[in-house]
Structure 1
Amino acid sequence: MTSTVWPVLHYDVPGAALRFLTGLGFTETVVIRDDVGDVVHAELSWPGGGTVLFGGTKHDDGVHAGFRAGAVYVAVASEEGVDAVHERAVTAGATVPAAPHRTAFAAGGPAYACAVTDTEGNLWTFGTYRGGG
């Protein structure tokens, strides 16, 4: 199944965001740079499916201009996968508001999850919950 929901984030230093996100395990799909080498637009895929888009805040003429920090949930296949991405996030310099733990989301579904923030305040939650309560 093709993923059709792609979160969009903006960074003051998109090159650092690119390094951070690839350090977490995302794979570069598209990276477009301007004439001085700054990232204008990037598309990164997650190994289990899904894509995140981002660009720099200095390029303010796009449809998403002016947006700041956001939040993204990424479904991970296993508790071991959550632990692994948490370790990679710590290595990449993330702040950790919630270490891996067992929890339940609002829909009542059990999950194993962690939450990290990147260097610009975007909240990334990685967990085993895949929807459906």
Structure 2
Amino acid sequence: MTTTPRTRPAPTVWPALQAHDAPALIDFLVNTLGFVKTAAYTDGDLVAHAQLDWPEGGGIMLGSYKPDHDWSRQPGTAGMYVVTDDPDALYERVRAAGADIFREIADQEYGNREFCVRDPEGNLWSFGYYRGEPRP
């Protein structure tokens, strides 16, 4: 089944991050990587919940780190892979912004073209055009 942006199902898996400085992480993800801030519920400098959508589909949720809560994850320990149709253009945008690129853009032996960047919290982000294997 071929899908278009109009027929793609709404995302049903939402990776969730916590951050020591959630407002700064949101700024980085929006201004440097290109996510779209769809929602952010704050209390001063604390972010109770934010939703950032990826323009090409999917998104993440994040909030301020609360070590005493049962849904607590150590900031800076996540690794994300994000699909983009134009990894070269995104790489140039990220490089121009001065982001911490730890793997330069390159063709991979398995057919992807990708690069990797570290966000200010230490999370790792890989961007490429590989969309995964088709479902059987």
Q: Is the 8 A contact 2:103 2:115 kept in 1?
A: yes
Deviation at 1:94, TM superposition (A): 2.1
AA aligned opposite 1:52: I
**Where does residue 27 of structure 1 map in the other structure?**
36
**Where does residue 107 of structure 2 map in the other structure?**
102
For structure 2, the residue ranges without an aligned partner over 5 or more in a row are: 1-8
Q: Matched residues in 2 for 1:92 and 1:42: separation?
A: 23
TM-score by length of 1: 0.83
RMSD: 1.8
Q: Matched residues in 1 for 2:102 and 2:50: separation?
A: 26
Residue 70 (structure 2) pairs with residue 43 (structure 1): no
Equivalent residues in 2 for 1:1-133, closer than 5 Å: 1-23=9-31, 24-34=33-43, 36-57=44-65, 59-60=66-67, 62-68=69-75, 69-77=77-85, 81-104=86-109, 109-132=110-133
For structure 1, the residue ranges without an aligned partner over 5 or more in a row are: none
AA aligned opposite 2:29: L
Once the two structures are superposed, residues 29-70 of structure 1 have per-residue CA deviations (whole angstroms, 9 ceiling, x without a partner) of 110101x2432211100011001111111x345553133320
AA aligned opposite 2:120: T
Please state whether the residue corresponding to 1:3 is helix, strand or coil.
coil
Identity %: 35
TM-score by length of 2: 0.82
Sort the Cα spacing of 1:89 and 1:63 in 2 relative to 1 into closer, same or farther, 3 A.
farther
Q: Matched residues in 1 for 2:48 and 2:73: separation?
A: 14
